[in-house]
Amino acid sequence: MKTKLIEIAENYTAELLMDAVLEQNPGRACITCSFQAEDMVLLDFVRRRVADIPVLFLDTGYHFSETYAYRDRMAAAWNLNLINLLPAISVTEQERSFGRLFTLDSTRCCQIRKVEPLMSTLENFDVWFTGLRREQSSTRAHLKKIEQHQLPSGKQILKVSPLADWKWSNVLHYTEEQRIERIPLYEQGYLSIGCEPCTSLPATGGDARSGRWAGKKLECGIHTFTGRNG
């Protein structure tokens, strides 16, 4: 049934796809959430179905203060089962050992502070919901709504992106219709919000993620490190 669902997933709306996935995979699902607008839409959908679903937040130690405040506010308001994933070393320890790694080697910084904590935690789940959208960048243009991924350990996990075909206008409409507060940074012109040292306003005429890592890369690695099998 999983194979069949992967094949027909593109024909499903976001909510119908989540219903089908959860029905076939009870009890072992999680959602990664950066608390950006897309993730809040997806989280609103999922929490109405699984109130206590584990909400994984990659706590790098470098997020904007506005992001941390918003995370805490929404976690309390929605009574989320929030799990803050911490790297093996603190920001202080990392900078003492390697300097300002986010400037010197951003790929290694992301590996330590995002990829490794997430890959380790995903070992506990069979389904991984994400708020990825094709419109966000060229690296996500061919994203499938369901993909079978292999973690570094060899474990197979179903990666589900129900909002893959949503436009930014759809995201805005839903948050406004449901009166979901958004991180105040959007009001300053940010369209993709990550760690503060590596996030700037998007380039003129660029896609939403053009302001990430000063345009030197578009992905931190958590969506490219696993092996895609379908």
Q: Output the six-digit token pair for 45.
A: 């959908």
The catalytic residue among 30, 109, 195, 220 is 220
Q: Residue 107: which H helix or E strand, with range?
A: helix 106-110
**DSSP string spanning 132-145?**
--GGG-GGGTT--S
Q: DSSP label at 115?
A: I
Grouping H, G, I as helix, E, B as strand and the rest as coil, residue 186 is: helix
Q: DSSP label at 63?
A: B
Residue 137 vs residues 63, 119, 143, 203, 208: alpha-carbon distances, Å: 21, 23, 10, 12, 7
Q: Is 195 a catalytic residue?
A: no
Of the candidates 7, 24, 45, the residue with the CA atom closest to the CA atom of residue 145: 7
The C-alpha atoms of residue 85 and residue 57 are separated, in whole angstroms, by 6
The C-alpha atoms of residue 54 and residue 47 are separated, in whole angstroms, by 10
Q: Output the six-digit token pair for 207.
A: 């896609």
Terminal CA-CA length for the chain: 14
Residues with a catalytic annotation lie at: 220
